[in-house]
């Protein structure tokens, strides 16, 4: 249950988002969309909203498991695609990831190797999109966007972002409203870029508290003490949120460049 500051009218948001999806696709001239379906709540909600907006014939589900993906996640993704009657393709990414790392040099740090997975997934999604006249749907939420908790040119690479204005806890509310299976809605956030990888091992607190801190810091523009009090966390956590936002600014901006030379 979201606190009052994060409560949303899920019916109104569904109508807003589905209208947005239809508008973006119509303006692009694309025939539909492809969604990377991971078995997590964000991709499930974005996927279900696309189906409601466009119809199942204009949505393609792409399952892109790695060797670190729990079988249950893949099963959840398959079940959801089949329940909504959407065509799906599946590509196991680990052979591609391993080949790339082997060719480029295998001595990189864990995070560098992990980010290759997200970028390989993006490449496959764009291959599917380009070959079928589709748009790539980004499935990131507002919590992840503001914290920079995504891979640049990986899961951050997409043609549009239908749920990037919703915090993680709001995405879960939308999932309940859309009838997404409870096991997916309540599933802990887990990028699974290495064995047992979860979001909270990299974040300063759980999303239920973080969302309140982020909302207070960036929406009404509150102070660190107020944000910490709102989220029920220490000020160190609120300061860490600000630092993560600052350090990830490059992920939310176009690459820097110079202006054309004058006279």
Convert the pLDDT of each residue in 225-237 to its tens digit.
999 999 999 999 9
Secondary structure (H, E, C), the chain: CCCHHHCCCHHHHHHHHHHHHHHHHHHHCCCEEEEECCCCHHHHHHHHHHHHHHCHHHEEEEECCCCCCCHHHHHHHHHHHHHCCCEEEECCCHHHHHHHHHHHCCCCCHHHHHHHHHHHHHHHHHHHHHHHCEEEECCCCHHHHHHCCCCCCCCCCCCECCCCCCCHHHHHHHHHHHCCCHHHHCCCCCCCCCCCCCHHHCCCCCHHHHHHHHHHHHCCCCCHHHHHHHHCCCHHHHHHHHHHHHHCHHHHCCCCCCCCCCC
DSSP for residue 85:
T
Phi and psi at 120, nearest 5°, equal -65, -40
For residue 196, is pLDDT > 80?
A: no
The pLDDT of residue 1 is above 70: no
Place of tokens 């204005």: 165
- pLDDT of residue 193 exceeding 70, the answer is no
User: Mean pLDDT lowest for which of 25-29, 77-81, 105-109?
Assistant: 105-109
The pLDDT of residue 190 is above 80: no
Candidate from 85-99, 102-116, 184-198 with smallest mean pLDDT: 184-198
Q: Average per-residue pLDDT in the chain?
A: 93
User: Distances in Å between the alpha carbon of 73 and those of 50, 98, 177, 255?
Assistant: 20, 21, 21, 34
């Amino acid at each position: 249950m979201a606190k009052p500051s994060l409560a949303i009218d899920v019916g109104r948001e569904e109508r807003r988002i589905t209208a947005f999806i239809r508008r973006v696709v119509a303006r692009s001239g694309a025939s539909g969309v492809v969604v990377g379906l991971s078995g997590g709540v964000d991709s499930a909600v974005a996927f279900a909203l696309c189906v409601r907006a466009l119809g199942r014939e204009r949505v393609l589900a792409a399952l892109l498991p790695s060797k670190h993906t729990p079988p249950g996640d893949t099963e959840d993704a398959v079940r959801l695609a089949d329940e909504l009657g959407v065509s799906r393709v599946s590509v196991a990414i680990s052979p591609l990831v391993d080949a790339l790392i082997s060719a480029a040099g295998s001595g990189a740090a864990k995070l560098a190797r992990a980010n290759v997975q997200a970028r390989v997934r993006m490449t496959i999604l764009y291959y599917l999109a380009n070959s079928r006249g589709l748009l790539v749907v980004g499935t990131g939420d507002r919590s992840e966007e503001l914290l920079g908790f995504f891979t640049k040119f990986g899961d951050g690479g997409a043609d549009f972002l239908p749920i990037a204005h919703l915090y993680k806890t709001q995405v879960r509310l939308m999932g309940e409203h859309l009838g997404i299976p409870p096991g997916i809605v309540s599933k802990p956030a887990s990028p699974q870029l290495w064995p047992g990888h979860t979001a909270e091992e990299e974040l300063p607190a759980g999303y239920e508290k973080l969302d309140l801190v982020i909302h207070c810091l960036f929406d009404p523009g509150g102070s660190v003490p107020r944000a910490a009090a709102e989220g029920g966390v220490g000020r160190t956590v609120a300061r860490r949120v600000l630092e993560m936002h600052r350090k990830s600014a490059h992920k939310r901006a176009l690459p820097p460049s110079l202006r054309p030379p004058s006279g």
